[in-house]
Amino acid sequence: MRRSEAKQRTEEQIARAAAELFAVQGVARTTVEQIAQLAGVSERTFFRYFPTKEDAVLSYIWLRADEVRAALRDRPAHESLADAFLAAVRATTSPDHEAVERDRAMLRLLRDTPTLRARWLVAGWETAASFVPLVADRLELDPSSLLARVSTNALFVAVQTALEAEADGSYTFEVALESAVRMLESGAGLGFRPTTGQEGSPRSG
C-alpha cells in the first residue's frame, strides 16, 4: 500500500470514529483520547491529522462529499445535472439503519452546536467550490462562469435544506433533497408573481 493510501485510510478511520462518538456522546463528553482509541491510533497520530476533535468530525462530512463527487463524475453525460446529482447522492447513501441513525444524530449535533454549525457551514461552501469544475464540465461551461457557480451553490443549498429537514424530523433526507432539487429545476419560486392583492401590499397569513 502506498503511503498516501495509508494516510488516507487512517484519516478516514479517525474521522468516522469522531463522528460515531460525537453522535452518541456529544461534543463536550468526547475526548481526543476516546476518538484515537476507537480509531486504533495513538493521540500523537490523531494530532498529526487534525488540530482539534471538531476538525476530525468535519472531515467526516468531507469524506461523504468526496464519495458524491466521484459518483457524479461517473454519471452518464446525457443526464441532466439534477438527475445526475440526485443519482450520485443516492448511490452514496448507506442503506444500513445504524449508519443512517448515526448520521441523523450527527446532523442534529451540527445544527444545535453553534461552534460546529458555523464551521460546518464554512466547510459546506468550501465543498461546493470543489464541485464547481465538475458541474461546469457537465454543463459544458468554463468553471469561472457565473452559471456554473450559481448551479453548484444552488445544489448545496438544497443539500443543506434537506439535511436540516432530516435533522428536525420533518422529512427524510432523500425525500427532502429530491423535492428541493426539483424545485430548483422549476425555478424555486423565483419567478412567482402574486395574482391577488395590491402590488406592494404586505402578504397576510
Mean pLDDT of the chain: 84
Residue 202 domain-assigned (yes or no): no
Residue 196 domain-assigned (yes or no): no
The DSSP result for 76-128, as a single string, is -TTS-HHHHHHHHHHHTS---HHHHHHHHHHHHHHHH-HHHHHHHHHHHHHHH
Q: How far apart are CA 161 and CA 109, in angstroms?
A: 15
Residue 117 domain-assigned (yes or no): yes
Residue 190 domain-assigned (yes or no): no
Residue 65 domain-assigned (yes or no): yes
Average pLDDT of the segment spanning 63-86: 91
For residue 74, CA distances in Å to 43, 66, 69, 135 come to: 37, 13, 9, 12
- Give CB contacts under 8 A, 24+ apart, made by 3-10: 7/49, 10/39, 10/41, 10/45, 10/49
* Grid coordinates given for 186: 422549476
Q: How far apart are CA 200 and CA 134, in angstroms?
A: 41
Query: For residue 147, what are the domain limits?
Result: 3-185
Q: How far apart are CA 104 and CA 164, in angstroms?
A: 10
Residue 193 domain-assigned (yes or no): no
Segment 133-158, tens digit of pLDDT: 999 999 999 999 999 999 999 998 99
Segment 33-67, tens digit of pLDDT: 999 999 999 999 999 999 998 888 877 777 778 88
Number of domains in the chain: 1
Residue 80 domain-assigned (yes or no): yes
**CATH code for the domain of 91:** 1.10.357.10
* Grid coordinates given for 75: 454519471
Tell me whether residue 93 is exposed, middle or buried, using C-beta atoms within 10 angstroms of its C-beta: 0 to 12, 13 to 18, 19 or more: middle
Whether the pLDDT of residue 204 is over 50: the answer is no
The candidate with the shortest Cα–Cα distance to 35, out of 100, 64, 111, 44, is 44
Residue 198 domain-assigned (yes or no): no
